[in-house]
């Protein structure tokens, strides 16, 4: 039961270029989406979120786009920096308990 | 900056033994969670806790698991009789509301031998 999918296990980009990480979901009841960044042996760190009533949210170098009709969201990082190298998880919630459903993660490598 | 703290960072236990994983959520948060990540897999929801009771639990959270908030600051996950397949990273998280950002601790690596 993969309600949240990240189909690209890995992504490699050059420093300074744009990184685009993608996420698809199947449950139309999801109304809040988040991106987390995770380093090995650490917990997920919150990056940015978006409510289903919006289609874009921007915070510095990070922008999240939501396409509800396609049930698709993406995280854009521009410009990418070597310190951005980590695993990025997309997560979604749709009830009042705050339970998050995570995707499988995408490993981003930013090369100097 | 407030953070979620978890202890211990690593726990090794023998199969069949009981373990208690401890968490101190962010102080003004009202919603508490446990997640786990088996090596190489995605982060999975275990249980959510609000107002001193479980608000939701997953299929993974069977009778061997329990949670408790014994005082005003700690939030614990107990596994009564550990199995090899319980080996994973366990993450505690907390949030202000039931519809917002959850902040995660650094995790406890549980190894069952």
Contacts of B103 in chain A (CB under 8 A): 46
Contact A56, A63 (CB under 8 A): yes
Residue B37 predicted with pLDDT over 90: yes
pLDDT value at position B55? 94
Residue at token pair 């979604």: A92
pLDDT tens-digit readout, B40-65: 889 999 999 999 999 999 999 999 99
Q: For chain B, what percentages of helix, strand and coil (3-state, to nearest 5) are there?
A: 5, 50, 45
Residue B88 predicted with pLDDT over 90: yes
Q: In chain A, which stretches have pLDDT less than 50?
A: none
Kindly state the tokens that stand for B82. 């550990």
Count H helices, E strands: chain A?
Answer: 0, 11
Residue B100 touches partner A, C-beta closer than 8 Å = yes
Contact B35, B100 (CB under 8 A): no
How many residue contacts between A and B have a Cβ separation below 8 Å? Answer: 69
List the beta bridge partners of residue A21: A75
Contacts of B45 in chain A (CB under 8 A): 99-102
- Quote the mean pLDDT of chain B: 94
SS3 call for A84: helix
Q: How sure is the predictor about B71, in pLDDT bands with cuts at 50, 70 and 90?
A: confident
pLDDT value at position A1? 63
Tell me how crowded residue B85 is: count the other CB atoms within 10 A of its CB.
10
pLDDT value at position A40? 87
CA dist A87 and B89 (Å) reads 15
């Amino acid at each position: 039961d993969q309600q949240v999918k990240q189909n690209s296990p890995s992504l490699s980009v050059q420093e300074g270029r744009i990184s685009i990480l993608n996420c698809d979901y199947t449950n139309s009841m999801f109304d809040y989406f988040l991106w987390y960044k995770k380093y090995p042996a650490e917990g997920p760190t919150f990056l940015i979120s978006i409510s289903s009533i919006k289609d874009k949210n921007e915070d510095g170098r990070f922008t999240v786009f939501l396409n509800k009709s396609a049930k698709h969201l993406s995280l854009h990082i521009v410009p990418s920096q070597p310190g951005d190298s980590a695993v990025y998880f997309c997560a979604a919630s749709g009830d009042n308990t705050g339970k998050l459903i995570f995707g499988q993660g995408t490993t981003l490598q930013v090369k100097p | 900056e407030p953070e979620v703290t978890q202890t211990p960072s690593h726990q090794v236990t023998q199969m069949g033994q009981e373990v208690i994983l401890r968490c101190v959520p962010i102080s003004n948060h009202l919603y508490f969670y446990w997640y786990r990540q088996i090596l190489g897999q995605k982060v999975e929801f275990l249980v959510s806790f609000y107002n001193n009771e479980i608000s939701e639990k997953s299929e993974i959270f069977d009778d061997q698991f329990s949670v408790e908030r014994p005082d005003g600051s700690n939030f614990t996950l107990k596994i009564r009789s550990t199995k090899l397949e319980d080996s994973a990273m366990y993450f505690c998280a907390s949030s202000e509301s039931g519809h917002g950002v959850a902040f995660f601790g650094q995790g406890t690596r549980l190894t069952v031998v």
